[in-house]
Structure 1
Amino acid sequence: MRIGPYQLDNNLLVAPMAGVTDRPFRQLCRRLGAGMAVSEMISSNAALRGSRKTVRRLDFAGEPGPIAVQILGADPVAMAEAARVNVAHGAQIIDINMGCPAKKVCKVAAGSALLMDPPLVGRILDAVVRAVEVPVTLKIRTGWDPQHRNGVEIARIAEGSGVQALAVHGRTRACGFSGQAEYDTIRSIKQAVSIPVIANGDIDSPEKAKKVLEQTGADAIMIGRAAQGRPWIFREITHYLENGVTLAPPEPGWIRDILLQHLENLYQFYGEFQGVRIARKHIAWYSKTQPGGALFRQRVNTTDSTEKQQALVMEFFDQLAINNKERAA
């Protein structure tokens, strides 16, 4: 998979997710097999540029390249300026968000709301591509609603504007995350353009990854929700695509060590007060499929201490390991 001058390690990408794909999460996914990770979306609103949240999202220290930053907005001039600012802060790829279905984004005519206005899409893409020398990519949905699936039209506009890769979530904005992803629509988009197309939506296993690549003909796949609490899904998919064999599930002790490293990075990145609170959702994701996870999460959510949070994680996963050994005996 290649985007402009950047040859990626593989064709497995981490989807940008607000409140999730911060630097610690991106670094972890890259270490566990992702070829690229796109940042949380950064608003093109200049008034927010100096906010603590935006400044933190522009911190790429120690992160492997290429650094891909997603920007959000509906004004071509503001989007072009946002692209220039982010490149100045280290972005090596600019990704444009035209896929977010959130109401607070769509009500300001940004995200997937832009799909209702193809001429504006073209103006935004033209402005951003002209503004920076780095590759520009685009993330879209298949359309605004099932009656207006215009993903092929938008893809052709993107290619004509000089966009160098296109990620497609296989649902319309109206569908949110319900129903099944439309892989046939992604296939139609892939057949309509010559730029790389990245398939996204409901890819939650190595077997599903292989099926989606075959069904869509996409150049790559992008994984979002399935990586929450399971960042090793990328190495699992790589192994399956290369060998046709499914890796054994990771042992509790291995998951414990991955999670503890993740927590330590969150504490360092956000500070203890905020880090502990942000860590809670990650701990919930890591433990949601484990026996006794609900009671464990109740205990974790009552502590405000990094030491206590880490101790509870160790206790929980060590007990899982003991239980597994007893069952195997």
Structure 2
Amino acid sequence: MKIAVIGTGGVGGYFGAKLAQAGNDVTFIARGQHLEAIRSNGLLVKSVNGDMHIPNAQVSDTITDITNADLVLTAVKAWQIKDIRNDIKQIIHEKSIVLPLQNGVMAADELAEVIPEKQVMGGLCRIFSLIEAPGVINHVGFKPEIVFGERNGVQTPEMEVLSQLFDNAGIACKASRDIEADVWKKFIFICTSALLAVTKTSYGELRELKETRQMMIALLNEIYAVSQKKGVKIKPDFIDKTIAVIDAVAYESTSSLTRDVWEGKPSEIDYQNGTVVKLAEKYGVDVPVNRFVYDCILPMELKARGKFNRQTS
């Protein structure tokens, strides 16, 4: 299969390497030193499950260099989807599948505003990984998995094609009958990332201290309340299960949003807690912890994007 991996970070680098290793025709989109390192030395993935090296990885910095992709995996930051969707439209054919693996709950909708809706699946992935150095991805934990499904809940032949593709590449996968619920379940979990950023804690530290643990639980319950107002089908015991997952995460673990905020980089805050705040206003739900977290990070986000209004006397 001809596959375009748009964004060769921790997510795209890992899953793209698995697909390339299985013999698929994979082209990676990367930038800067990362691009040059992959061109020179190939793509190296260090993993707790075994390292991979794609010595002659096909890589470019221009999406439209790719033609007739059968599958497009979007693995850029959530806020970059609007910037790339028109280019993606140019590289697909009428039977192509576009599968977003972004955090948040907006990616598929934003893609489908430009790309034919029937070609955009809902999707998510689970993995802890990051760019360790140019040309090097480090998968540090969590069993990697891709979950996907048609947004209308219908089982289609395209879902079977993806299941076979991922199975052949040794990628754990799930063909979902309710991808909206699965995306929201991940969304609820990842929105703790901003709380880590504000409190300057790891997951272990956050859950250990009584005060921050209470904030974490309140934040999760607020998002669950929003999901129920929206009509997402998630069972009431999901929050307890999410807390159990957080309690089992490696003590020093953080998240990409957390690290982006700490490092003064643009983050996905508008697509995580910012989305919670907007939807809460729409559905009339009170979300004080999510609003506090979002409001605390907003000035840092504006500075990172060069949009902070400075007044001079």
TM more than 0.5: no
Give the TM-score taking structure 2 as reference length. Answer: 0.32
Larger Rg: 1
Give the TM-score taking structure 1 as reference length. Answer: 0.31
- Structure in which a larger fraction of residues adopt strand: 2
